[in-house]
Amino acid sequence: MKRTEIADRIMEKLAPAVPELRERWAASAGTIHHCAIDNLLPDDLAHKIRDAYPSGGGMRTLKSLRELKHVAAQMNQYDPILEESLYAFQDPRVVAAVGQITGLRALEPDELLYAGGISVMSKGHFLNPHVDNSHDRDRVRYRVLNLLYYVSPGWGLANGGNLELWPDGLDGKQVTIESRFNRLAIMITNKSSLHSVSPVLVDDQRCCVSNYYFSQFPAEKEDYFHVTSYRGRPEQPLRDLVLRGDAALRMGIRKVFPKGIVKNKHYYERDTPPEN
């Protein structure tokens, strides 16, 4: 199935839900702006997307105090339905509908998949609380939205691997969004959108299709710039100290070298041939 056809299916569910999702988005203003829609795609199509996922062994592993997960953006190395489903969320109709829901201006999807793509999280994997970096790879556009489409059948809250929002910081109570099968979660990314993924607790794989939307306009009233900044969880005070120092160091480097000194490897190099 091609991306346009998948986008057709997305719009069949998303378009009539726009008014309700807009209300949910507005109602979340006291937390971190977010909303979610369940059963986004026909069930058989959602299962096909999940079945096409690599085990994780053929993906890039991110392992540090910040996170542990498998990720991939070089989509021509995998089953074509993964690329088609990923780019279906970049269809102009889908982007326009998300703009209506969020009220954010001049939304632009990212065909390079800078920090987007697919991810697999297995038992013990996690993503510590963090604020995403504020801009695209070339520091031209603001990163304003994160779209997360979950495709792990039977996934429940007790499995872990759920999206957590920290609107009141790490001293406050987090808002948990279950990584439910066939659910699309939309969340704002700005200088205060602290979020995490709780540790996966089961011998199963939490699979996600991730897209970021960018804009020439910031998600807040004033301009801002920051690198991705990680924190320790409330029960990790020593890790929190280390990660805060790491963020401060990287922010200092970016002030001197605005576009960074290390090339980010997580984006789609379209000229790279697929592996045999």
Question: Which range marks the domain in which residue 106 is found?
Answer: 3-221
Residue 251 lies in a domain: no
> CATH code at 214?
2.60.120.620
Rounded to an integer, the average pLDDT of 130-146 is 89
Residue 157 lies in a domain: yes
pLDDT tens per residue across span 70-97: 999 999 999 999 999 999 999 999 999 9
At 262 the pLDDT is 53
Strand partners, 117: 210
Residue 101 lies in a domain: yes
pLDDT tens per residue across span 192-231: 999 999 999 999 999 999 999 999 999 888 888 888 999 9
At 7 the pLDDT is 98
* Cα–Cα dist 163/150, whole Å: 11
Residue 168 lies in a domain: yes
Contacts for 212 with CB less than 8 Å, ≥ 6 apart: 109, 110, 114, 115, 116, 132, 143, 145, 146, 147, 189
Give the number of domains in the chain. Answer: 1
pLDDT tens per residue across span 92-116: 999 999 999 999 999 999 999 988 9
Residue 241 lies in a domain: no
Q: How confident is the model at residue 167 (pLDDT cuts 50, 70, 90)?
A: very high
**Whole-model pTM?**
0.93
Residue 260 lies in a domain: no
Cα separation of the two ends of the chain: 22
Bigger pLDDT: 137 or 236? Answer: 236
Q: Is 145 helix (H, G, I), strand (E, B) or coil?
A: strand
The angle that helices 80-88 and 43-51 make with each other, rounded to 10 degrees, is 130
pLDDT averaged over the chain? Answer: 92
Bigger pLDDT: 56 or 12? Answer: 12
Opening angle at CA 144, ends 138 and 149, nearest 5? 110
Rounded to an integer, the average pLDDT of 144-152 is 97
* Cα–Cα dist 24/34, whole Å: 8
The two tokens of residue 2 are: 């091609």
Contacts for 16 with CB less than 8 Å, ≥ 6 apart: none
pLDDT tens per residue across span 24-62: 999 998 889 999 999 999 999 999 999 999 987 789 999
Bigger pLDDT: 136 or 65? Answer: 65
* Cα–Cα dist 191/207, whole Å: 26
At 258 the pLDDT is 61
* Cα–Cα dist 52/29, whole Å: 36
Residue 275 in this model has a pLDDT that exceeds 70? no
Q: Is 21 helix (H, G, I), strand (E, B) or coil?
A: helix
Residue 274 lies in a domain: no
3-state SS of 171-208 is CCCCEEECCCCCEEEEEECCCCCCEEECCCCCCCCEEE
From the centroid of its chain, how far is CA 28?
18
Answer for the pair 194, 164: CB distance below 8 angstroms, yes or no: no
Residue 263 in this model has a pLDDT that exceeds 70? no
Contacts for 222 with CB less than 8 Å, ≥ 6 apart: none
From the centroid of its chain, how far is CA 6?
19
Which of 143-152, 173-182, 249-258, 262-271 has the lowest average pLDDT? 262-271
Which of 126-135, 147-156, 201-210, 265-274 has the lowest average pLDDT? 265-274
Q: How confident is the model at residue 140 (pLDDT cuts 50, 70, 90)?
A: confident
Written as one string, the DSSP assignment of 92-126 is HHHHHHHHHHH--SS-EE-TT-TT-EEEEE-TT-E
Residue 226 lies in a domain: no
